[in-house]
Structure 1
Amino acid sequence: MSLKDLKGTYDAIFSLGDLCLASIQLRKNNLRPFAGPLDWMSSPSLSSVNRLLQNRFEGFMELSNLNPTGYSTGVDSTDPFLVVVDKNYGIVSSHDFKADENTLTHLVTYPEVKKKLNKRIQRFLDKMSTSQRILFVRTEATFSEVLELESILSNMVKKEFHILVVNHSNINDMVEKSWPLERVTVVKLPDDEKWNGNDNYWKYILEGIHIRD
């Protein structure tokens, strides 16, 4: 599926990780009207995300599975936050638990964080059931992982969906790849300064994509 086939209007666009990069770029390009459950989390293994989707988020970020391991900073600030690992899925929250309100031994604000996350999960699942057209964006993924993802989403999304995969490697320019997957578009971008140095590529990729009013 080519980049031009990706263009058009969607009812929802969600990041599926692996870091905050996809969410940041969707926001920069005015394509993030609401938050998704994985927006500000680290999910290095797409296989784990696939399992999370397959399970419809059952058991995700349950208090008994959480392990605070250190400190991070906010997405838009230098405010300190705790790094909290969901041991069940290997997914990491780095921007939810403020360090001045929580400790490594006591997640005081867990009820509020879980309530916020549950709201995002429910909206995510609702959009999968009600959207006429939905786009999922994932950075860093292998062919086999995306093949599995496409299969899982085929059983979850009621109508049309597409997957945009953006991988990074030691290259000097954007390369569009051709994977034999009906609903998947794949591009490779330079990995040097990928957080801010590829803004022009992301703008090109997302140009012509719109969110339905």
Structure 2
Amino acid sequence: MGNDRIKGGYDAVFSLGDLCLGAIQLQKNNLRPFSGPLDWMGTPQLTKVKELFEKRFADFMLRENLRIIGKATEQMLLVLDQNNLVYSNHDFDTVRNSLEQLPMYPSVKEKLDRRVDRLWDKLLTARRILFVRTNASAEETAELAQVLRSVIANDFRILVVNHGAVSRIVEQNWQIDHVYSVELPDKEIWEGNDMLWKHLFQGVYLT
């Protein structure tokens, strides 16, 4: 089968988490012409991502739902959207924000709202969309695909990349419409699998 399920041209490509890895690999493979709302977020539960699509991201990163957990690094804060279980560690720097206050919130929310608006515009107008998700089960992915079918006007595909004790690309053969699922080696996932990701995206391009 190879990657035949996802080959072809796309008007838009979006990462759906669970970490920044998907967005990073899209960028490395020239498949990221613009930012999506979940590109640099931590979204450990795909069920919560599915719920965001169900409610059209209506309460995404609202200030009253945010909790400052601490420092992600010396430069950035770790902030949690408690309603949606979305973790931000790239939006609030430690120079202009603190463990008590987020004065940058209005500008961050404005940026995220623009990305949500762009996402929704593409859902309604794009002829074909590719979504990339790392760390997902077959059941969660099937539920996500069902929700996406209800909100997307035209065609879409989902690439799911899990990691495990393998040495190459191993297809998972979930037999879910619109979905291509694989497993990659779980050692050095941030850079060690670059050539495997490149192989996954062979024949995938932006129109």
Partners of 1:168 and 1:191 within 8 A in 2 = yes
CA distance in 2, matches of 1:153, 1:2: 24
CA distance in 2, matches of 1:84, 1:39: 15
CA distance in 1, matches of 2:99, 2:71: 9
Letter in 1 for 2:3: L
Structure 2: which 5+ runs fail to align?
none
User: Per-residue deviation at 1:199?
Assistant: 0.2
Alignment of 1:39-118 (within 5 A): 39-73=39-73, 80-118=75-113
Q: Report runs of 4+ in structure 1 exceeding 6 Å deviation.
A: none
Percent identity between matched residues is 48
**Could you say what secondary structure the match of 2:181 adopts?**
strand
Measured against aligned partners, the alpha-carbon deviations of 1:71-127 in whole angstroms (never above 9, x if no partner) come to 124xxxxx7111000000111000000110001111000000000000000000000
CA distance in 2, matches of 1:45, 1:52: 11
**Could you say what secondary structure the match of 2:90 adopts?**
strand
**Could you say what secondary structure the match of 1:119 adopts?**
helix
Letter in 1 for 2:139: S
**Counterpart residue number, 1:76:** none
CA distance in 2, matches of 1:177, 1:67: 37
User: Per-residue deviation at 1:69?
Assistant: 0.6
CA distance in 2, matches of 1:108, 1:91: 19
CA distance in 2, matches of 1:184, 1:96: 31
**Could you say what secondary structure the match of 1:14 adopts?**
strand
Partners of 2:78 and 2:89 within 8 A in 1 = yes
Measured against aligned partners, the alpha-carbon deviations of 1:166-196 in whole angstroms (never above 9, x if no partner) come to 0001112210121121100001000000000
**TM-score normalized by structure 1?**
0.95
**Could you say what secondary structure the match of 2:4 adopts?**
helix
Letter in 2 for 1:167: N
Partners of 1:2 and 1:178 within 8 A in 2 = no
**Could you say what secondary structure the match of 1:59 adopts?**
coil
The farther-off stretch of 97-106 and 1-10 is 1-10
**Could you say what secondary structure the match of 1:202 adopts?**
helix
CA distance in 2, matches of 1:142, 1:176: 14
**1:128 maps to which of 123, 127, 131:** 123
Measured against aligned partners, the alpha-carbon deviations of 1:1-36 in whole angstroms (never above 9, x if no partner) come to 851231111000000000000000000001001000
| Structure 1 vs Structure 2 CA RMSD | 1.0
**Counterpart residue number, 2:25:** 25
Q: How many residues align?
A: 207
**Counterpart residue number, 1:173:** 168
Letter in 1 for 2:184: L
**TM-score normalized by structure 2?**
0.98
CA distance in 2, matches of 1:34, 1:2: 27
**Counterpart residue number, 2:35:** 35
Structure 1: which 5+ runs fail to align?
74-78
User: Per-residue deviation at 1:200?
Assistant: 0.4
CA distance in 2, matches of 1:5, 1:144: 19
**1:202 maps to which of 173, 197, 207:** 197
